[in-house]
Amino acid sequence: MAKRALRNDQVDAAVLEVHGLVHDQGWLADRALERALRRERGLWAAERRAVADAVYGIVRWQGQLDALLGGRPALGERYAAWLARFGGIAPADAARRLGVAPARLAGLAQADARIAAVADPLDRFSLEASLPRWIADRFAAQLGLEDARALGRVLNERAPLTVRANLLRGDRGVLRARLAQEKVTAEETRHSPWGLVLDGRENAFALASFRDGWFEIQDEGSQLIALACGARPGLTVVDACAGAGGKSLALAAEMRNKGSLHALDSDAERLEEARRRARRAGVHNLRDRAIPAGAEADAALGDLAGKADVVLVDAPCSGLGTLRRKPDARWRLSPDDPARFARLQRELVRRFAALVRPGGRLVYATCSIGPTENDEVAEFAVREVGLVPAPLAPLLGEDRARALGAGEARLTLLPHRHGTDGFFVATFEKR
């Protein structure tokens, strides 16, 4: 059967609509894309993929494209430039397709040579990775320039579609066999014992195995954070910043539905999503609770004080580790954001440490990269809160911890080294 040609007029209309929502009205790219694709039900599967690839590609490469074109190009010009530079379409054809004057794409000529000729190494890195200069500076300062460049390359690739097998239904071997029956190819993740990487061509949410609760979509790094909690049947576990419940469900599976799992968050709507997901996954021991934001939360948590065996503080953060999955975040963040989040993170560590029983464990995690939100907050937990670093290896497994390059009580995951999103985790004991 001959492959159907894409209807470029319909693809382009959807891309430009999403691009307008993101850049003119401040929508998050994933929300704007979801809105457009929900309404454009007549698009074929290949066309929907083409729209998503273009939307995220334009957002990723916006900084570089704008610099090459000069000034702030119109939406159609930026889209045509992306098609010409990254979409495999000749500049003249891209200009004609989007109704753009060919002269507007002249800046793409010899683009690689122009970028390579930029004298300042950090300016060049910022341009080649399409990152704001302040983010380029932070990555280079933390990793060294060459390692930062490797990170920048990976952040501009499509993130893998990674799922976590729901152990309440079956392990990942059983899930893999079930997916094969649905004609979905899946490979085991490198580090997580629960993960599979799907081929990415399927709509995972439409699979019967998803609807029946056999898996959740979850980055491998996020799975490893849940593994580092050491949740076990019969324990009292608190997911202090549960959000929509991704890690809560992983903890419930580790607990085999036995014990008490408390999912806390200040956003009641996100907790409603966690409840819905828990029902699909067959989770019965999750108790969700909306708590106030700020100091009022302390009084609301009095009944849990000193009772938890494990508390996970997966703290709100800048999200610098998720730029591959959320490429528009790089243009929304400001240089002050890591320090602003770190102030909140210190407050949360102090607040939720009060829930840990003596001898219990607190696990601090972020999806950010850099010491401000990670190592410095971990040091605050020791210095100001009185927590004691606790070894990670017994929780992750000695071989896995060694393969990941984990420290005694801290682990940094990086996309270009581990294939995960960027994460940080630190483990503590309360004496």
Cite the active site residues: 367
Pick the closest to residue 243 from 224, 212, 218 (CA basis): 218
CA 369 to chain centre: 12
For the chain, how far is it from start to end, CA to CA, in angstroms? 68
Cβ atoms of 352 and 430 closer than 8 Å: no
Q: How far apart are CA 156 and CA 56, in angstroms?
A: 9
Q: Which two tokens stand for residue 423?
A: 């994460």
Cβ atoms of 228 and 254 closer than 8 Å: no
Q: How far apart are CA 275 and CA 166, in angstroms?
A: 16
Cβ atoms of 349 and 383 closer than 8 Å: no
Pick the closest to residue 273 from 290, 256, 285, 261 (CA basis): 290
Q: How far apart are CA 232 and CA 230, in angstroms?
A: 6
Q: How far apart are CA 179 and CA 232, in angstroms?
A: 28
Alpha-carbon distances of 250 from 226, 321, 331, 384, rounded to whole Å:
6, 21, 31, 30
Q: How far apart are CA 273 and CA 52, in angstroms?
A: 24
Cβ atoms of 251 and 194 closer than 8 Å: no
Q: How far apart are CA 127 and CA 334, in angstroms?
A: 18
Q: Which two tokens stand for residue 185?
A: 């190819």
Pick the closest to residue 224 from 251, 204, 243 (CA basis): 251
Pick the closest to residue 374 from 337, 424, 322 (CA basis): 424
3-state secondary structure of 214: coil
3-state secondary structure of 202: coil
Give, as one character, the DSSP assignment of residue 255. Answer: T
Alpha-carbon distances of 375 from 14, 67, 82, rounded to whole Å:
42, 34, 38
Cβ atoms of 292 and 300 closer than 8 Å: yes
CA neighbours closer than 13 Å in the CB half-sphere of residue 252 = 29
